[in-house]
């Protein structure tokens, strides 16, 4: 942690704006405010333009010789393809309602992180190129020419946007910066300006099925390892199906959950839940990633990576797909999947084999969120639960941006939480549900070199966590997103020390009483359960 | 600077017709300009809307502001997270008539001790924007009396309600005062709020000054000069009946200044951010229902050539390792 300024330093944020116009104010690239560029071999593998070795701190970014023409051509084609882009370029009245809604602005104070100004970075070019009057009036009308510095600015700020859509909620016209950021990133790809932490996972997803590049045999090993842990804790051996044909359900979750702490405990939670139900479900190594790094790359990449889910469901002959806890995976499933790769007419509308509930919400995609599935089980009293096993946790719930503002999945996880643990407190209302704050690492920015900016962007979330920690003794922040499980622990260590992070299904896994299990003395993290501190194996 | 230039431009739009009418160019400002303005407005507005409407909405991307419709025992929020046309209609009604999203507005305060980030409700922009827009609408409706014969009932009712306080003679319309309050607040925000000043362009100042100019010349005509209303109506009725002629009794130059400013607004409208009036109805995050997981949403340019890395290619690469790990394979090695 020594690399970053301490919270007392970081909090000295100046919200006053410079006297000079934003067009005359340049922001330098410095350690902690940008991510490293895409590596040439990754770009080549993905067939993307202008692979080269470069750094944002270089003066010369080695853009292709006719880069201006390339960018403007793409700009024009995107305006034709997306009404959102065109309308959002035209109708912003710059009322400023979005200005203090962005977590990067709140935690950093850089005015170019006000969503309205972030979009102006593109609008100024749009005006300069597509509006005759603005061309004549120039800067006075907010128009400017496309110069190399503009590309540098785009790179800096559109890779300082986590596409969380909080600004869109408050905009009187629903202008969505996530859409604008997606367009800007597509423009940047055309001239080879992108970041490795998005493209390498995208390449991995394509080849191995998951963003970490875990090969099938290694995936199986890791799964067995987690089953060993479950056996130690519960005395029950679970033998999950992998790549098995003819099961009723295919389960897909982000691969972050199989690999990293604390996601692995959520993964164990899923395994325990399925064992408890005797669910006819299979996992897949080919479609072993729910998270879609294509969402942060381009619509084509998103479609390509997403396509594996339906491919695999068809190949294995399942009836429907169940999806794990993940943020942007669900944004893609809810808003894009069926459009890109549907219709999934070879599948059936999900019906819970345990309760018989038919889930019409998923009638189109045939893919159900595990929070919907589990909430229904609890409501129908199909789970044998001992919530006291979670008594060491005093929990709050972090709404992940994408399920909250791209889907509206707010009550289901809360209902589960309230049934599997006995101590639950909400964070302040302006920081939860549809007004939830980003973890600071969404949209592919969860990388090491970007940590300082992430911590800044995490201030609003971290501060809300601190509030419930101080007031109610909260020590566990539960969430339904694998990126959250990776980004929130350092964030909490920094802004609200003493608060850990868990998935909702980790708490479910703790609470479930498996048939014939031994007396549990520890939770899934192998920490002693309440009152079991002195028990020996 | 941008504010100053905008102010000058509006001033010029008052002075030019004022002087021009004195030099006998009444027909230019009273007849030719209004026709030009209305044509540019209608054609421009329609072209913009058609242009937007023609570009596809490839994906269903509503910003959801509440609980989705999922399980029957979970109360959903049909207006903030609509699943069907009815819900979208209600969402848009609230948005357009009540400025729903702006009503949500908060402001952030950061206290160093702690540190603490606090959020408080911030409704001033919502309130004054609402005041401005509704007054504008009311004034627009009131003005229809100049363009219609006989004057329709609702116009009379609007006028009656607007002057219900019966202040002064001629009776003062409340909307005239309130729209000034609204406009001055919106202007003051741009000048005094550092964040808003930083993002404000000439295109933001100009319409504000233009509208202020329109209101002030209107107030001047009605309450100070007390222009000959019968003569004004003669002019406007000539315009709408397509028998344009200048009134027999000459009218005050301020009427021409007022009219010119209004014409400037009509001409400026289709090329500016004022198109938010039409754009809001085409904003995908607001008008799309949250139903793409329920039913198919079609993307007209969806490229069928984009295919996932196939399972066959995947198995070909990892077959031996898969067999070794005991994973089922489609083709034996």
Tens of pLDDT, residue by residue over B41-92, are 999 999 999 999 999 999 999 999 999 999 999 999 999 999 999 999 999 9
| Average of per-residue pLDDT across B234-256 | 91
pLDDT for the residue numbered B152: 87
Q: Report helix, strand or coil for B252.
A: coil
- Tens digit of each residue's pLDDT (9 = 90 or more) over B18-34: 999 888 888 899 999 99
Q: Which residue of A has its CA nearest to B109?
A: A106
- Token pair listed for B245: 């002629």
Between the alpha carbon of residue A13 and those of residues A17, A105, A111, A495, the distances in Å are: 11, 10, 11, 15
pLDDT tens-digit profile, chain A (537 residues) = 447 889 988 999 988 888 889 999 999 999 999 999 999 999 999 999 999 999 999 999 999 999 999 999 999 999 999 999 999 999 999 999 999 999 999 999 999 999 999 999 999 999 988 877 777 788 888 899 999 999 999 999 999 999 999 999 999 999 999 999 999 999 999 999 999 999 999 999 989 888 888 999 999 999 999 999 999 999 999 999 999 999 999 999 998 899 889 999 999 999 999 999 999 999 999 999 999 999 999 999 999 999 999 999 999 999 999 999 999 999 999 999 999 999 999 999 999 999 999 999 999 999 999 999 999 999 999 999 999 999 999 999 999 999 999 999 999 999 999 999 999 999 999 999 999 999 999 999 999 999 999 999 999 999 999 999 999 999 999 999 999 999 999 999 999 999 999 999 999 999 999 999 999 999 999 999 998 887 755
| Average of per-residue pLDDT across B208-236 | 93
Q: Report helix, strand or coil for A531.
A: coil
pLDDT for the residue numbered B2: 85
The residue behind tokens 């202040």 is B167
Give the count of beta carbons closer than 10 Å to the beta carbon of residue B304.
6
Which residues, at least 6 apart from A62, have a Cβ–Cβ distance to it below 8 Å?
A: A50, A52, A54, A192
What is the C-alpha to C-alpha distance for residues A278 and A410, in angstroms, rounded to an integer? 28
pLDDT band at B263 (very low <50, low <70, confident <90, very high): very high
pLDDT for the residue numbered B114: 80
Closest CA to A200 of A362, A36, A319, A58: A36
Question: How far is the alpha carbon of A346 from chain B, nearest alpha carbon, in Å?
Answer: 14
- Report yes or no: A181 at the B interface, CB cutoff 8 Å: no
Strands A367-369 and A476-479: unpaired
Q: Report helix, strand or coil for A398.
A: strand
Go through chain B and tell me how many residues it has.
333
Question: How far is the alpha carbon of A270 from chain B, nearest alpha carbon, in Å?
Answer: 20
Secondary structure (DSSP) of B112-178: TTTTEEEEEE--HHHHHHHHHHHHHHHHHHHHGGGT-SSPPHHHHHHHHHHTTT--TTTTPPHHHHH
Q: Which residue of A has its CA nearest to B130?
A: A172
pLDDT for the residue numbered A2: 46
Residues 428-467 of A with CB under 8 A from B: 428, 430-431, 433-435, 459-460, 463-464, 466-467
pLDDT for the residue numbered A1: 43
In angstroms and rounded to an integer, the radius of gyration of the C-alpha atoms of chain B is: 28
Closest CA to B140 of B186, B99, B175, B89: B175
Q: Please tell me whether the overall predicted TM-score, pTM, comes out greater than 0.80 for this model.
A: yes
Residues 37-96 of B with CB under 8 A from A: 48, 51-53, 55-61, 63-71, 73-77, 80-81, 95
Q: Report helix, strand or coil for B323.
A: helix
Between the alpha carbon of residue A100 and those of residues A15, A209, B110, B227, the distances in Å are: 10, 39, 11, 47
Minimum-distance CB partner of A408 among B67, B299, B302: B67
Residues 156-175 of B with CB under 8 A from A: none
Given a contact cutoff of 8 angstroms between Cβ atoms, the answer to whether A532 and A401 are in contact is no
- Where would I find the H helices in B55-115? 85-98, 100-103
- Report yes or no: A257 at the B interface, CB cutoff 8 Å: no
Go through chain A and tell me how many residues it has.
537
Query: Are the Cβ atoms of A83 and B284 closer than 8 angstroms?
Result: yes
- Which residues of chain B have a CB within 8 Å of the CB of A120? 199
- Report yes or no: A266 at the B interface, CB cutoff 8 Å: no
What is the C-alpha to C-alpha distance for residues A172 and A234, in angstroms, rounded to an integer? 53
Given a contact cutoff of 8 angstroms between Cβ atoms, the answer to whether A111 and A22 are in contact is yes
**DSSP label at residue B31:** I
What is the C-alpha to C-alpha distance for residues B93 and B74, in angstroms, rounded to an integer? 25
- Report yes or no: A411 at the B interface, CB cutoff 8 Å: yes
What is the C-alpha to C-alpha distance for residues B285 and B95, in angstroms, rounded to an integer? 12
The residue behind tokens 């109805």 is B281
Strands A241-242 and A281-283: parallel
- Which residues of chain B have a CB within 8 Å of the CB of A179? 61, 285
What is the C-alpha to C-alpha distance for residues B35 and A310, in angstroms, rounded to an integer? 59
Between helix B311-324 and helix A216-234 the angle, nearest 10°, is: 50
Given a contact cutoff of 8 angstroms between Cβ atoms, the answer to whether A32 and A452 are in contact is yes
- Which residues of chain A have a CB within 8 Å of the CB of B112? 11-12
Which residues, at least 6 apart from A237, have a Cβ–Cβ distance to it below 8 Å?
A: A227, A231
- Report yes or no: B127 at the A interface, CB cutoff 8 Å: no
Question: How far is the alpha carbon of A99 from chain B, nearest alpha carbon, in Å?
Answer: 7
Closest CA to A209 of A287, A283, A282, A284: A287
Give the count of beta carbons closer than 10 Å to the beta carbon of residue B332.
6
Given a contact cutoff of 8 angstroms between Cβ atoms, the answer to whether A281 and A244 are in contact is no
- Tens digit of each residue's pLDDT (9 = 90 or more) over B108-131: 999 888 889 999 999 999 999 999
pLDDT for the residue numbered A536: 55
Cis peptide before A343 (omega within 30 of 0): yes
- Report yes or no: A334 at the B interface, CB cutoff 8 Å: yes
- Which residues of chain A have a CB within 8 Å of the CB of B64? 404-408, 434
């Amino acid at each position: 942690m020594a690399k970053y300024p301490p919270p007392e330093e970081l909090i000295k944020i100046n919200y006053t704006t410079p006297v000079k116009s934003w067009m005359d104010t340049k922001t330098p690239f410095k350690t902690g405010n940008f991510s490293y560029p895409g590596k040439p071999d990754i770009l080549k593998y993905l067939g993307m333009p202008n692979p080269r070795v470069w750094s944002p701190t270089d003066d010369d970014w080695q853009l292709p010789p006719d880069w201006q023409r390339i960018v403007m051509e793409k700009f024009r084609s995107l305006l034709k393809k997306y009404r959102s882009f065109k309308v959002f370029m035209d109708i912003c009245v710059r009322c400023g309602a979005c200005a203090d809604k962005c977590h990067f602005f709140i935690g950093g104070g850089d005015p170019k992180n006000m969503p309205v100004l972030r979009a102006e970075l593109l609008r100024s070019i749009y005006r300069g190129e597509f509006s005759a009057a603005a061309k004549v009036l120039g800067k006075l009308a907010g128009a400017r020419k496309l110069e190399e510095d503009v590309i540098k600015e785009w790179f800096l700020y559109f890779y300082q946007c986590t596409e969380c859509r909080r600004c869109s909620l408050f905009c009187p016209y629903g202008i969505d910066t996530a859409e604008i950021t997606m367009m800007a990133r597509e423009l940047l790809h055309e001239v080879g300006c992108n970041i490795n932490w998005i493209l390498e996972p995208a390449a991995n997803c394509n080849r191995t099925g998951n963003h970490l590049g875990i090969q099938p045999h290694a995936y199986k090993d890791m799964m067995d390892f987690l089953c060993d842990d479950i056996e130690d804790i519960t005395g029950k051996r679970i033998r999950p199906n992998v790549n098995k044909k003819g099961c009723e359900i295919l389960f897909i979750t982000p691969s972050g959950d199989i690999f990293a702490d604390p996601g692995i405990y959520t993964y164990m939670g899923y395994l325990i839940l399925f064992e408890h139900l005797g669910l006819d479900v299979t996992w897949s190594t080919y479609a072993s990633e729910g998270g879609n790094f294509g969402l942060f790359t381009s619509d084509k990449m998103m479609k390509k990576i997403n396509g594996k889910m339906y491919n695999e469901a068809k190949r294995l002959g399942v009836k429907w797909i169940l999806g794990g806890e993940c943020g942007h995976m669900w944004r893609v499933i809810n808003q894009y999947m069926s459009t890109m790769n549907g219709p999934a007419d070879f599948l059936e509308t999900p019906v819970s084999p345990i309760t018989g509930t038919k889930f019409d919400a998923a009638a189109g995609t045939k893919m159900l969120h595990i929070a919907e599935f589990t909430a229904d089980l609890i409501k129908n009293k199909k789970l044998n639960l001992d919530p006291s096993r979670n008594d060491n946790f005093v929990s709050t719930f972090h709404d992940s941006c994408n399920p909250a503002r791209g889907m509206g999945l707010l009550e289901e996880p809360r209902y589960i939480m309230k049934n599997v643990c006995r101590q639950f407190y909400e964070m302040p209302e302006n920081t939860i549900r549809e007004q939830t704050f980003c973890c600071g690492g969404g949209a592919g920015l969860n990388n090491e070199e970007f940590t300082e900016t992430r911590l800044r962007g995490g201030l609003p979330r971290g501060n809300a966590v601190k509030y419930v920690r101080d007031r109610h003794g909260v020590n566990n922040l539960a969430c339904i997103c694998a990126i959250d499980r990776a980004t929130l622990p350092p964030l909490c260590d920094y802004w609200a020390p003493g608060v850990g992070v868990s998935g909702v299904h980790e708490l479910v896994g703790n609470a479930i009483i498996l048939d014939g299990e031994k007396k549990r003395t520890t939770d899934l993290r192998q920490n002693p359960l309440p009152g079991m501190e002195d028990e020996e194996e | 600077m941008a504010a100053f230039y905008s102010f000058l431009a509006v001033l010029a739009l008052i002075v030019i017709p004022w002087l021009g009418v004195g030099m006998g160019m009444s027909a230019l400002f009273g007849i030719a300009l209004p026709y030009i303005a209305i044509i540019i407005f209608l054609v421009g507005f329609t072209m913009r809307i058609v242009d937007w409407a023609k570009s596809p909405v490839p994906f269903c991307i509503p910003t959801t502001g509440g609980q989705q419709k999922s399980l029957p025992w979970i109360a959903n929020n049909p207006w903030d997270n609509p699943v069907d046309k009815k819900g979208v209609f209600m969402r848009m009604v609230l948005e357009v008539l009540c400025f729903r999203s702006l009503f949500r507005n908060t402001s952030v305060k950061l206290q160093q001790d702690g540190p603490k980030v606090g959020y408080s409700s911030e409704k001033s922009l919502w309130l004054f924007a609402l005041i401005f827009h509704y007054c504008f609408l009311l004034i627009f409706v009131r003005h229809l009396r100049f363009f219609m014969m006989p004057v329709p009932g609702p116009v009379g009712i609007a006028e009656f309600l607007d002057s219900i306080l019966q202040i002064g003679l001629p009776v003062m319309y409340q909307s005239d005062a309130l729209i000034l309050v609204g406009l001055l607040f919106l202007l003051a925000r741009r000048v005094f709020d550092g964040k808003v000043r930083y993002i404000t362009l000439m295109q933001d100042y100009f319409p504000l000054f233009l509208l202020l100019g329109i209101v002030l010349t209107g107030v001047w005509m009605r309450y100070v000069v007390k222009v000959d209303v019968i003569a004004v109506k003669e002019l406007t009725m000539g315009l709408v009946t397509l028998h344009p002629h200048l009134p027999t009794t000459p009218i005050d130059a301020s009427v021409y200044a007022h009219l010119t400013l209004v014409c400037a607004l009509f001409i400026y409208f289709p090329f500016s951010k004022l198109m938010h009036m039409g754009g809001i109805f085409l904003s995908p995050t607001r008008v799309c229902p949250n139903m793409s997981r329920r039913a198919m949403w079609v993307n007209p340019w969806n490229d069928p050539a984009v295919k996932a890395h196939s399972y066959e290619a995947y198995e070909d690469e990892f077959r031996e390792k898969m067999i070794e790990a005991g994973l089922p394979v489609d083709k034996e090695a």
